Structures are given as structure tokens and as C-alpha cells.
Amino acid sequence: GQNIDQPTEMTATEGAIVQINCTYQTSGFNGLFWYQQHAGEAPTFLSYNVLDGLEEKGRFSSFLSRSKGYSYLLLKELQMKDSASYLCAVRSNTGKLIFGQGTTLQVKP
């Protein structure tokens, strides 16, 4: 079966660091993606991991452990505009993305 789990909601303070976890159990694996989605808008690509380890991109970093079926997205120096949903998605061997429910992050002043 296909199962991707993320926390439903998180709250953090402006300027802080937040880590959003994602665990997955899928029948195939061809990379893990993180997208950001503001309410009523399209998902926008944040990061991609296919090998174990940390990928850093400015204020955003993503980590993958394939043996543990685990990833996290790290957001540093949080800004109010980072309030959004963060979607974890596994790409199957056929190319389709399998999404988790998404984590709604609220950044407070």
C-alpha cells in the first residue's frame, strides 16, 4: 500500500526554526519532493531528495533517510510569508507523485 504521514498542523514564531517531518511507506520510490502551497494557490516546488542526506537551499533544507522511510523539511529564519501548507510527496517508479495530507504551518509574530 501507499502511506505518507505528516503532522496536520504546526505553529512557530517568526525568526525561529521549524522542522516538518514526513514518513512514508510506498511500493516504489523514485525520489521525495517538498512543495509549498498557499491557500487557493498552486503547489510550488521547494526541494527534491533521491539519495540519503541533506539538501540545502537558502533558508530551506530537506533531509532523506531511505532505510527509515523518513524525510524532514527544515525552515530557518521563519517569516510571516512562510505561513502555508507544506506537502511531502513520493514519486513512484511510474512517475506519479503520491502526496501526504500536508502540514499547515502558522507563523506568529
Partner 1 sequence: NAGVMQNPRHLVRRRGQEARLRCSPMKGHSHVYWYRQLPEEGLKFMVYLQKENIIDESGMPKERFSAEFPKEGPSILRIQQVVRGDSAAYFCASSRAGVGTDTQYFGPGTRLTVL
List interacting residues with partner 1 (CB under 8 A): 30-31, 33, 35, 41-45, 48, 50, 87, 89, 91, 93-102
SS3 of residue 106 by DSSP? strand
Residue 45 CB, shortest distance to partner 1, in Å, is 5
- Closer CB to partner 1, residue 61 or residue 91? 91
Residue 64 CB, shortest distance to partner 1, in Å, is 14
- Closer CB to partner 1, residue 16 or residue 54? 54
- With contact defined as beta carbons under 8 Å apart, do 22 and 102 qualify? no
- Closer CB to partner 1, residue 64 or residue 78? 64
- Closer CB to partner 1, residue 56 or residue 77? 56
Residue 107 CB, shortest distance to partner 1, in Å, is 21
Residue 85 CB, shortest distance to partner 1, in Å, is 9
